Amino acid sequence: MTLPNLSFDIERDPRWTALCARDRAADGRFVYSVQTTGVYCRPSCAARRPLARNVRFHASPDEAERAGFRACLRCHPRREAKAIRFAIGESSLGLVLVARSEVGLRAVLFGNDAGELVRDLQSRLPDATLTVDAAGVQGALDAVVDCIEAPHLPFDEPLDLQGTPFQTKVWRALRRIPAGSTVSYGELARRLGVPGSARAIAAACAANPLAFAVPCHRVIAADGGLSGYRWGVARKRALLQREARA
C-alpha cells in the first residue's frame, strides 16, 4: 500500500505559500495546526516555520480546537484581524484621527502630523486591517470635532472598547465623570473599590485610545496638577477650560 505524500500536497496548497510568507492578509481566512506541538496558529505567526508534513489547515479556530489543538500563545489566533476604517481631520487642538470598527469607535487620537497619527494607530492595533475611508468615517469625525469645539453638544457615537478587564472598567468609569468636573486618580480608585491603586488607574488612563470620547483628561493629580496626559498638558487644559465654560 502506498501512502499519500502529504508534504507534497501541503506544499502545493496556496495556504502553505501564505504561511511561508507570514502573510498578514491571510489572517482570518484560515489557521494552521502543527501535529508535533499540538498548537494552531494564524498564517502570520512569527514562530519558526514547521515542517510541511506536520501541518494541517483549518477553516477556523473552532475547527482546529475540535481537532484537539490549542491556540498559540504567541500569535493569539482567536484574535482574528478586524477591518478598521479611519480618517483624519482638523480641530483647534490639532489634527484628530478617528478610527472605527463595525461595532463603534476604536480610536480617537490627537496629533500634529498625519504620518505620526497613522503610526500611532498601527502600533495600537497591530492585528487590524487599516483602511482610509474619509466618506465612511466622516460623520463620526465631524461629531468628535464638533464636541471638541463645543463640549455642551451631545456625543452619542457608539464605542468599541477593547482592553483588559481592568482597563475597560476604568474607561467606563471615566465616561461617568460629568463634563466640567474632575477627579483625582486616588478618588477614582476609591470609587472603583480599589483604594491604593492610583498608579494602576493612571496607567489605564495612559492606555486609553479614545481621547475625548473616554475623557481621561478629567482625571488630575491629587494636588490639582494636569500632568500625565497622553496628548499633552496644553490639550488637557484646553479641554477642561472649554468644559468649564460650557
3-state SS, one letter per residue, for the chain: CCCCCHHHHHHCCHHHHHHHHCCHHHECCEEEEECCCCEEECCCCCCCCCCHHHEEEECCHHHHHHCCCEECCCCCCCCCCCEEEEEEEEECCEEEEEEECCCCEEEEEEECCHHHHHHHHHHHCCCCEEEECHHHHHHHHHHHHHHHHCCCCCCCCCECCCCCHHHHHHHHHHHCCCCCCCEEHHHHHHHCCCCCCHHHHHHHHHCCCECCCCCHHHEECCCCCCCCCCCCHHHHHHHHHHHHHC
Domain membership flag for residue 156: no
In a domain, 214, yes or no: yes
Of 45, 71, 97, the one marking the end of a domain is 71
Reported as a single tens digit per residue, the pLDDT across 119-136 is 999 998 877 889 999 999
1 inside domain = no
CA separation, residue 62 to residues 32, 33, 44, 152, 187 (Å): 12, 12, 18, 46, 43
Q: 241 and 178 in one domain?
A: yes
Catalytic residue among 72, 75, 147, 216: 216
Do 88 and 67 fall within a single domain? no
Is 205 a residue of the active site?
Answer: no
**Domain assignment present for 234:** yes
Query: Do 178 and 237 have their domain in common?
Result: yes
113 inside domain: yes
Asked, for residue 78, whether it belongs to a domain, the answer is: no
Output the domain CATH number for residue 65: 3.40.10.10
- Give dist(CA 160, CA 150) in Å, integer: 23
The proportion of the chain whose per-residue pLDDT surpasses 90, expressed as a percent, equals 71
Residue 2 has pLDDT above 70, yes or no: no
Question: Which sign, positive or negative, has the C-alpha torsion 163, 165, 170, 171?
Answer: positive
Segments forming the whole domain that contains residue 91 = 83-149
Query: How many CA atoms lie within 13 Å of 82's alpha carbon, on the beta-carbon side?
Result: 17
Provide the CATH number for the domain around residue 240: 1.10.10.10
Domain assignment of residue 158, yes or no = no
> CATH number for the domain including 106?
3.30.160.70
* pLDDT tens digits along 186-212: 999 999 999 989 999 999 999 999 999
Q: Is residue 160 part of a domain?
A: no
Average pLDDT estimate for 49-64 = 91
pTM, entire model? 0.70
Confidence of residue 8 (pLDDT cuts 50, 70, 90): low
Query: Mean pLDDT across the stretch 214-239?
Result: 92
Same domain? For 12 and 61 the reply is yes
| Total number of domains in the chain | 3
On whether both 59 and 121 belong to a single domain, the answer is no
Among candidate residues 105, 124, 149, the one where a domain is terminated: 149
pLDDT digits (tens, 9 = 90+) for 125-182: 877 889 999 999 999 999 999 999 999 899 999 999 988 889 999 999 999 999 999 9
Q: Kindly state whether residues 207 and 181 are assigned to the same domain.
A: yes
